Amino acid sequence: MGGLMLLSRVAEHLYWGSRYLERAEDTARVVRSFTEVLLDLPAGVATSWEPLLAIVGSRDAFDAHHAAVTERDIVRFLVADSGNPGSVVSSIAQARENLRTTREVLPREGWQAVNDLYLFSGREPEAGVDRRSRSRFLSRVIDECRQLDGVLSGCMLRDEAYSMWRLGEAIERADMTTRVLGVRAAALLSATGSAADYDDVQWMGVLRSVSGLQMYQRSTRGPIDGAEVVRFLVLEPDFPRSVKACVGRMREALSHLPRPHLTTSALDELDALVASVPAVADDGALLDDAMDEVQVALGQLHDVVYATFVAAE
């Protein structure tokens, strides 16, 4: 009971601290990979930045403050806009605030790492908008998020606080992978005519969105195939950013938290939905629907986690 009482006091901040940090890193990856795809495509190929807004679910919020849809406005909104709670800089700021209140359970180096990231991202956020400096800025954000993850992996006690941190991280990561698949992969599977002329470049961009290109190539040892990319990002248990691997880490984290039986039903439902995805891996519309269902199941798991470990007294 003592562990639960301690966890109840800090659970919300640990859970959201890890989610916001993962959100910052994942958004940085998506924007960076989309920029790289544009550089790889021949000049004159029509492209749109609007899918980025769909991936992060921010189209309505963007439209409320922008009359036109331009690359610069979208990237600024997703990376540098402190008024957008889902932007990279806002997510880092919220991660820092959550971790500031839980410093007693974190290694000192962990707090130092997140504070350094906060200071860097807030110093020159426009560097993440300008094409000339964008990749460098986003890569540093990703690298410093990975540095913090390494500090926590190497120095944090394997207690309930650590399990709550890993749980939030896994839920957020799975959510982003399903969003990338539901928007970018589904659109590519449905593409016809000239829209499908540069499929390989576009599928490479999907894999880069989750830093999975090299691991996909190692795993399949063949040409890039859309349906295989979907299966890899959903079901490959040995790729840390696949949905299945994330669900496995959720299950592991929950097994080390009090009253794991309260989350079993929601987790099993999520697992079953993930297992059913291969049946629709080559159909864009069905994949989009399947990813929506997985995202709903992730939301339901979040609700159960919140009721069990945060709202419970």
Q: Mean of the pLDDT values across residues 30-58?
A: 89
Q: Are residues 14 and 132 in the same domain?
A: yes
Mean of the per-residue pLDDT values of the chain? 92
pLDDT tier, 244 (very low <50, low <70, confident <90, very high otherwise): very high
Q: Indicate the residue among 98, 132, 156 that finishes a domain.
A: 156
- CA–CA separation, 259 and 266 (whole Å): 14
> Tell me, what DSSP letter sits at residue 69?
-
Q: State if pTM tops 0.85.
A: yes
Q: Are residues 61 and 83 in the same domain?
A: yes
Question: Is 36 buried (19+), middle (13-18) or exposed (0-12) by CB count in 10 A?
Answer: middle
Print the domain residue range for 221: 157-313
pLDDT tier, 68 (very low <50, low <70, confident <90, very high otherwise): confident
* Phi, psi torsion values for 200, nearest 5 degrees: -60, -45
Q: Are residues 172 and 313 in the same domain?
A: yes
Report yes or no on 275 lying in a domain. Answer: yes
Q: Are residues 168 and 146 in the same domain?
A: no
224 has a pLDDT exceeding 50: yes
Q: Mean of the pLDDT values across residues 184-201?
A: 79
Q: Are residues 177 and 311 in the same domain?
A: yes
Which helix (H) or strand (E) element contains residue 293?
helix 284-305
Query: How many independent structural domains does the chain possess?
Result: 2
- CA–CA separation, 76 and 92 (whole Å): 15
195 has a pLDDT exceeding 80: no
Q: What is the pLDDT of residue 161?
A: 93
Q: Are residues 214 and 77 in the same domain?
A: no
Report yes or no on 54 lying in a domain. Answer: yes
Q: Indicate the residue among 141, 156, 171 that finishes a domain.
A: 156
Q: Are residues 17 and 149 in the same domain?
A: yes
Could you report the per-residue pLDDT of 152-190, keeping only the tens digit for each?
999 999 999 999 999 999 999 999 999 999 999 999 998
Q: Are residues 312 and 164 in the same domain?
A: yes
Report yes or no on 5 lying in a domain. Answer: no
